[in-house]
Every structure is written in C-alpha cells, then in structure tokens.
Amino acid sequence: MRRDIDRLRELDYPVSGTTGTHGGYGLTSGNNLPPLLLADDEAVAVAVGLSHAASGSVTGIEDSSLRALVKLDRVLPPRLRPQLAALTETTTAITGHDVPQVDPTSLAVLAACSREQEIVSFEYRNRDEHPSSRRVEPHSLVTIHGLWYLLAYDPDRDDWRTFRTDRIQQPTRTYRRNASRKLPAPSAADYLTRSFATATHRYTAHMTVELPADSVRAGVFGPIPGEIDERSPQQCTVRLSANSPELVTQYVAAIAALDAEFTLDAPNRDHRAAPVAGRPIHR
C-alpha cells in the first residue's frame, strides 16, 4: 500500500495520511491538477467542447480553451482521433461580431459561488457606464446572443437582477452561504427570456405581421428580443427592443423574410414614429 501511495504522489495526486487507530490515507485538493482518467466518450466530449470554445462559440475564453485543447491533443489515444475529427469537421459554430470578451477567471468565481450558494461581491458598470458596488446571492450563469449573464438575487434591491458578466469587475468570494431562494420562473433561461421580452431598451420597433404568432416564433431562429402578441388567428404584433440598432434591424429583416405582409413602426433619426409598409420578401 505504501508503494502505491508513493506512486500516486509521484503522479501529482495529493494524498494525505494520518496515523493512529483511526488513521488512513485520503485524496486532498492540491495546487496542480493530477492526471485525469476519462472514458473514451468523455474524452471526445471534452475535446469537442474545447475546440468550439477555442473557435469563439463560447466568447471570452478562446485562448484558455486553445491551450487546454493542445494539452489534451498530446495525450489523446490514437483510436479516438477519427471520432474527434469527424465531429469537429462536420459541425459549425455561428458567432456574433463585436461581442465583449469575458475574463475566464471571473466566470469561474461566479460559477463557483452559484454552485455553492455563496454570496459574491463585485463592481458593476451598467449600460450607461455608471459604476456601483454589488453584493448579491448568485443563482446561475446563462449565455444568450453570445453574451454571458449572471442571474442573482440582490438583497439591497429586494429583487432578482441580471448582470452582464463582461461588465462585472473584481468578483470576490465572501465564503458566506445564502439562503436558498425560489426562482420566479421555471428555469434561469425562462427568467432571462422573459426579462428580455418585457424590457424596453434604447431602440424599439413595432411590427404588425399578417401571420399567426406561433408561425412568427417558429420562423425566427433563437429567442426574440421583445414580445409577440396575437391580435387575431392570422395577425400578430411584434415589439423588438435592444440597445443595439443593428440587433433590432437584424430581427426586423428576419421577420420580414417570412413571406407575409407587414407594417413597421420605428423611430427615425428625429425619434418620431416612422410607419413603413412592407411586402413579403420571396426566398
């Protein structure tokens, strides 16, 4: 047994030992990662995830993912390389442009606090660049439209809040547990989608589309930054709102391409209503 323990320690596994009647050996946390024993399917899954993250599908951690992928590639058994090549060569990640970078260390701290239900403090800049100090009870991390968001309960505001992680600075663990709170939604993704749908941002456009609401939802890829209300079985209104005029324009174009009559009501340069009638764009 002692020879086995010495061999584990040579492989960088941190093994502690205690003497006495109730003594023994146990694995502990160390400063370095020991060798990881992964099953074939686990190794391929990790490699595929790292390759997509390195390509930019997970924004802000490309460099870290690429370094990890290089290390994994060096020790990947030859029998697994054809599986990995087939998966990476036949899948494509679509990424947005000008997406803010996220510090992987900050994501790790926020994820750890969310998992451990531990209060976290940080400095935050809102969309108007106003700084504030926050101390919140994190629930989970959600990524949407290429951005990472932290969903948390803010005791100072007595309500749930969402924070863009690229605007979070110096997240610090407090090692203080918070009480478990029930999220006012079936899931974190549902809560964030609802928040985006009801929020009013800097740029807003309204569309009246001669299609059922379900047809519009099914015809547009991904969650729409706004609300869709059914006015009749064959007509609905869509409210699109975002801080980026390009994002609003992108969804207006996507809805306009659904082969249906529509009208568009959006502010022009003078910030006055500018209704526009449109005809279907034939594909």
Q: CATH code at 120?
A: 2.30.30
Mean pLDDT of 132-145: 89
Name the pairing type of β-strands 235-242 and 203-209.
Answer: antiparallel
Q: CATH code at 269?
A: 3.30.70
What pLDDT is stored for residue 269 in this prediction? 44
**pLDDT tens column, 153-189:** 999 999 999 999 989 999 999 999 998 889 988 988 8
Q: Helices 81-89 and 40-54, interaxial angle, to 10°?
A: 40
What pLDDT is stored for residue 274 in this prediction? 43
For residues 145 and 281, which has the higher predicted lDDT (pLDDT)? 145
What pLDDT is stored for residue 242 in this prediction? 82
Last residue of a domain, one of 56, 89, 122: 89
CB 262 within 8 A of CB 210: yes
Rounded Cα–Cα distance for residues 105 and 58 (Å): 14
Indicate if 207 and 180 belong to the same structural domain: no
- Looking at the predicted structure, is the pLDDT value of residue 282 above 80? no
Q: pTM of this prediction?
A: 0.58
Mean pLDDT of 125-147: 87
- Looking at the predicted structure, is the pLDDT value of residue 27 above 90? no
pLDDT band (50, 70, 90) for residue 129:
confident
Q: Partners of 205 in the beta sheet?
A: 240
Establish if 119 belongs to a structural domain: yes
What pLDDT is stored for residue 98 in this prediction? 57
Last residue of a domain, one of 138, 157, 186: 186
- Looking at the predicted structure, is the pLDDT value of residue 38 above 70? yes
- Segment among 48-57, 201-210, 212-221 with least mean pLDDT: 48-57
Rounded Cα–Cα distance for residues 176 and 153 (Å): 15
Indicate if 182 and 225 belong to the same structural domain: no
CB 134 within 8 A of CB 121: yes
Last residue of a domain, one of 162, 186, 210: 186
What pLDDT is stored for residue 159 in this prediction? 92
- Segment among 42-51, 89-98, 229-238 with least mean pLDDT: 89-98
**pLDDT tens column, 84-124:** 776 666 555 555 555 667 777 788 788 889 988 999 999 99
